[in-house]
Amino acid sequence: MKIKSSTWRSVFDVKGKTKKVEKLREEVSHPDFWNKPEGAVKKQKELSLLEDDIEKMTELKKKVEDIKDIHRETEEDEEIMKELQKEVIELKEKIKKEEFRIFLSGKFDRNDAIIEISSGAGGRDAEDFAAMLLRMYERYAERKNYKVKVISTSFGEAGGPEGRTGIKDVSLEIKGSYVFGFLKKESGVHRLVRKSPFSSASVRHTSFAQVSVIPKIEEKDSEVEIKEEDLRIDTFRSSGPGGQHVNRRETAVRITHLPTKLTASSQSGKLQGENKKEAMNILRSKIEQLQEEEKKRKMEKERGELASASWGNQIRNYVLHPYKLAKDLRTKVETSNVEEVLDGSLDSFIESGIKK
């Protein structure tokens, strides 16, 4: 009975993390540690996460050794072997989850995520596709027991087939462990090919939608300074399908950062103040991500590498007619079960994207 795993030794290798923990513990115990509160909070959080990782790795390693010992002592007992086999299967799944943490070591990979979906070329079909992608990510989050909240929505024209209303733009927040790390490779252009439900002739139609995944960065964790004079703040009424207003007051907020032209909006809160705070958090996250991407592009340029565009890359096709195929154009992972993918079954695409 063997536990085969391409990177399990790396999963159990805690030497590097142990050294980092020792260094952080030394810093935390220093009398002047809290002189700079913001930096102290970050380091304390990093220490807590590293200690949690080491504890999990140590537990897994002990479990492997326990299973090996039991196997050596009772390999003639068929009943015990059957139970042991079940434990091995469960352990493999746990190790697999820890393996992904090796790949998810980016600055923001542990963070929650904001997903923004915008309809592109394709008219009402594209707006309908954006609504399909919203449901896809909501269903994916449900499968993973993540928490989901729609922050703002700009609806398309109402009165489609089966009473469907498309979406021009939508932002949703997904909370959970390593959410941004898992979902960051979803950023890019998504393409749908199908018979158009908006055409009486049922002709084949191609439509596009843009997905942007942003790490959720709280103000206390951010290194970005935003000047009040660099902001334009607009308020408007939250609206639903068909233009029906959620309330009569202008509680929804849209903030534009004038130097970068980046925007963020929120309409999920009942009060304008709540939405302004939410929008500022999103805007701050966008600016910080932009700065990180600019640093990366600069490094790639210095190394003579071609930097890939962050937005505008077509990453995945969803074909429903004349055949059925969902294919990732970067990893070449594909499946004919497109409906299952659109219902949130994204693991094969996401896992291959992380390892690429």
Domain of 234: which CATH number?
3.30.70.1660
Distance CA 222, CA 224 (A): 5
Kindly state whether residues 65 and 184 are assigned to the same domain.
no
Q: Which range (3-17, 198-212, 283-297, 311-325) has the least confidence?
A: 3-17
pTM to 2 decimal places: 0.76
Distance CA 238, CA 170 (A): 13
**Class of residue 192 by CB neighbours under 10 A (exposed 0-12, middle 13-18, buried 19+):** buried
* Residue 1 within any structural domain of the chain: no
Domain boundary among 73, 103, 133: 103
Domain that holds residue 244: 113-355
Kindly state whether residues 122 and 214 are assigned to the same domain.
yes
Measured CA to CA in angstroms, residue 249 lies from 171, 244, 254 at distances of 21, 13, 15
The pLDDT of residue 239 is 65
Kindly state whether residues 302 and 343 are assigned to the same domain.
yes
Domain boundary among 70, 103, 136: 103
The pLDDT of residue 310 is 37
Kindly state whether residues 65 and 146 are assigned to the same domain.
no
* Residue 210 within any structural domain of the chain: yes
* Residue 200 within any structural domain of the chain: yes
Q: Which helix (H) or strand (E) holds 255?
A: strand 252-257
Task: Give the CATH number of the domain where residue 19 resides.
Answer: 1.20.58.410
Overall number of domains in the chain: 2
- Tens of pLDDT, residue by residue over 190-249, are 999 999 988 877 788 999 999 999 999 887 777 788 999 999 999 988 766 544 444 556
Please give the backbone phi and psi of residue 271, each rounded to the nearest 5 degrees, phi first.
-115, 150
Kindly state whether residues 206 and 231 are assigned to the same domain.
yes
Distance CA 108, CA 288 (A): 10
pLDDT at residue 109 is higher than 80: yes
The pLDDT of residue 192 is 95
Kindly state whether residues 317 and 198 are assigned to the same domain.
yes
* Residue 237 within any structural domain of the chain: yes
Kindly state whether residues 248 and 351 are assigned to the same domain.
yes
The pLDDT of residue 2 is 53
Domain boundary among 103, 129, 155: 103
Q: If you ran DSSP here, which 8-state letter would residue 242 be given?
A: G
The pLDDT of residue 307 is 36
Nearest to 329 by CA among 299, 294, 353: 353
* Residue 108 within any structural domain of the chain: no
Distance CA 166, CA 156 (A): 5
Residues in the chain: 356
Cβ neighbour number for residue 196 with a 10 Å cutoff = 20
* Residue 86 within any structural domain of the chain: yes
The pLDDT of residue 266 is 93
Kindly state whether residues 230 and 294 are assigned to the same domain.
yes
pLDDT at residue 172 is higher than 60: yes
Distance CA 265, CA 270 (A): 14
Kindly state whether residues 183 and 270 are assigned to the same domain.
yes
* Residue 3 within any structural domain of the chain: no
CA atoms within 13 A on the CB side of 2: 4
Kindly state whether residues 69 and 122 are assigned to the same domain.
no
Distance CA 326, CA 125 (A): 18
Kindly state whether residues 64 and 198 are assigned to the same domain.
no
* Residue 331 within any structural domain of the chain: yes
Is the dihedral angle over the CA atoms 329, 330, 335, 341 positive or is it negative? negative
Kindly state whether residues 188 and 49 are assigned to the same domain.
no
